């Protein structure tokens, strides 16, 4: 049996809602998430909904790397 490698990318797309007192506070909270200061799941009344999933193989990178004796 031969062994192969291939590069691929996965993309998960979500829509998230959360509560804030104002647009400015919402931006500040998202800045904290972006900076790693808080987790997105720690936002007030947060809810996430999966919207899309994509899987893409870069077939031009497919290559044989060896054999495995079974």
Does the pTM surpass 0.75? The reply is no
Share of the chain above pLDDT 70, in %: 100
Count structural domains, the chain: 1
12-40: average pLDDT: 97
Closest C-alpha to 10, from 50, 49, 54, 52: 54
Closest of 10, 12, 46, 54 to residue 26, by C-alpha? 46
**DSSP count for the chain of H helices, then E strands:** 1, 2
- Mean pLDDT, residues 42-54 taken together: 96
Domain that holds residue 21: 2-67
Give the tens place of pLDDT for each residue, 14-25.
999 999 999 999
The per-residue pLDDT of the chain, averaged, comes to: 96
Q: Which residues, in sequence order, are bridge partners of residue 63?
A: 5
Q: What is the pLDDT of residue 70?
A: 72
């Amino acid at each position: 049996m031969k062994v192969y490698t291939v590069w691929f990318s996965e993309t998960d797309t979500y829509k998230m809602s959360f509560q804030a007192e104002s647009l400015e506070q919402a931006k500040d909270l998202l800045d904290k998430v972006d900076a790693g200061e808080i987790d997105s799941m720690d936002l007030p009344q947060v809810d996430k909904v999966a919207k899309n999933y994509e899987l893409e193989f870069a077939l031009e990178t497919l290559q044989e790397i060896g054999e495995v004796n079974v």
